[in-house]
Amino acid sequence: MESLYPLTFEPILLERIWGGRKLESNYDKKLPPHVPIGESWEVSDRPGAESIIANGPLQGLTLRWLMEHRRQSIMGKAKDMNGRFPLLVKILDAREGLSVQVHPPANLAASLGGESKTEMWLVTHADDNAHIFTGFKKGVTRETFQKAIEEKQVPPLLHCNYVKGGDATLIPSGGVHSLGAGTMVFEFQENSDTTYRAYDWDRVDSQGNSRELHLEEALKSIDFNYVEPPLIQSKFSRNKTLSSRFLVNDPAFICDEYQVQKNQRFYITTTVPVILGIISGEIILSGNRQSLHLKPGCFALLPPGLEKTTIESISKTNYLMCQPHATES
């Protein structure tokens, strides 16, 4: 049986009406011509969107295959999500703003025919005056929000944060939100793709068609107590060679950002699968006789139980590490 090693996957590129072309210019993704690509799914175990291994002896097999045939080796002490890998990782390129939307909370998701989803955004690029909407301003109720949708006056009710590269936010299931135009983010989330659109800016496609809204489901799902949430405020620790800052410790996942100086080498071990994503800089990631040269926009999955995984920084590098919680043994 082939031993596991640090894995990288072929990106799954998705056309979106709000998407752009920066996945190619910023991260060297090979995009189809003349198509607005809004999402690159970097690690996915979704029906119809199963990540294909891009390196090593297991190249060509899928993350779904690993979950079916090597579950213990890929999951370690972590718990799966309904039999699937528990995390979904994307890069989003918002040339235009996304819809005002919500993901259903766990206590309602099944009754609505969906799945709950908590997610984190890390802004990697932002145009001048770029912003995100997360939650409501104080005093917004279901009734006032519903009236605003009918009157097409939604933005004044939403809490707006102007953002720059490096800003991060956690969006719990039930939290209304919208990614604004001119932003790119790394998105780490629970393995779900249930989204209910409440408002889509009266946008139409090239054929004059508007996208479907899901007002009934959205209004049932929205937490109207999700009011004016701040961006994540954590700062980097002070260390000359390797600094870190805490981002998220949610029941869904843990995520931290690291900054390593040039020409450093260190080792990591883990009992759960860890997803590493490069924000800036370059590293060499090695384990079990396999090496990866990771540049900005590259992601790798570190299986648990590797004896020694080595990170060597080619330049000053910022990267994220995200993982599910370990279950109690």
Report yes or no on 79 lying in a domain.
yes
Does 89 lie in the same domain as 20? yes
pTM to 2 decimal places? 0.96
Report yes or no on 1 lying in a domain.
no
Does 286 lie in the same domain as 213? no
Please answer whether residues 322 and 187 qualify as being in contact, where contact means their C-beta atoms are separated by less than 8 angstroms: no
CA distance 325 to 205: 41
**Number of domains present in the structure of the chain:** 2
Those residues of the chain that have pLDDT short of 70 are 1, 329
First to last CA, the chain: 26
Among candidate residues 189, 221, 253, the one where a domain is terminated: 221
CA distance 313 to 175: 37
Does 214 lie in the same domain as 111? yes
In terms of residue numbers, what domain contains 306? Answer: 242-323
Does 278 lie in the same domain as 148? no
Report yes or no on 170 lying in a domain.
yes
Does 43 lie in the same domain as 163? yes
Please answer whether residues 252 and 190 qualify as being in contact, where contact means their C-beta atoms are separated by less than 8 angstroms: yes
CA distance 12 to 43: 9
Burial 262-279 (b: 16+ CB within 10 A, else e): eebeeeeebebbbbbbbb
Q: For residue 125, with 0-12 CB atoms within 10 Å meaning exposed, 13-18 middle and 19 or more buried, which class applies?
A: middle
Report yes or no on 283 lying in a domain.
yes
Please answer whether residues 42 and 49 qualify as being in contact, where contact means their C-beta atoms are separated by less than 8 angstroms: no
Does 133 lie in the same domain as 87? yes
Report yes or no on 233 lying in a domain.
no
**Is the dihedral angle over the CA atoms 260, 236, 175, 105 positive or is it negative?**
positive
The three-class DSSP label of residue 262 is coil
Report yes or no on 234 lying in a domain.
no
Does 44 lie in the same domain as 91? yes
Does 204 lie in the same domain as 291? no
Please give the pLDDT value at position 329. Answer: 57
CA distance 177 to 6: 34
DSSP string of 101-160, one letter each residue: EE---HHHHGGGTS----EEEEEEEE-TT-EEEEEE-TT--HHHHHHHHHHT--GGGEEE
What CATH number is associated with residue 61?
A: 2.60.120.10
Please give the pLDDT value at position 1. Answer: 65
**Other C-beta atoms within 10 Å of 71: how many?**
13
Does 43 lie in the same domain as 83? yes
Q: For residue 47, with 0-12 CB atoms within 10 Å meaning exposed, 13-18 middle and 19 or more buried, which class applies?
A: exposed
Burial 129-161 (b: 16+ CB within 10 A, else e): ebbbbbbbeeebeeeebeebbeeeebeebbbbb
Does 255 lie in the same domain as 197? no
Does 206 lie in the same domain as 165? yes
φ and ψ of 54, to 5 deg: -110, 0
Report yes or no on 178 lying in a domain.
yes
Please give the pLDDT value at position 91. Answer: 98
Q: How many residues does the chain have?
A: 329
The three-class DSSP label of residue 177 is strand
Active site residues: 197
Among candidate residues 173, 192, 221, the one where a domain is terminated: 221
CA distance 314 to 73: 29
Does 282 lie in the same domain as 147? no
Report yes or no on 197 lying in a domain.
yes
Among candidate residues 221, 256, 278, the one where a domain is terminated: 221
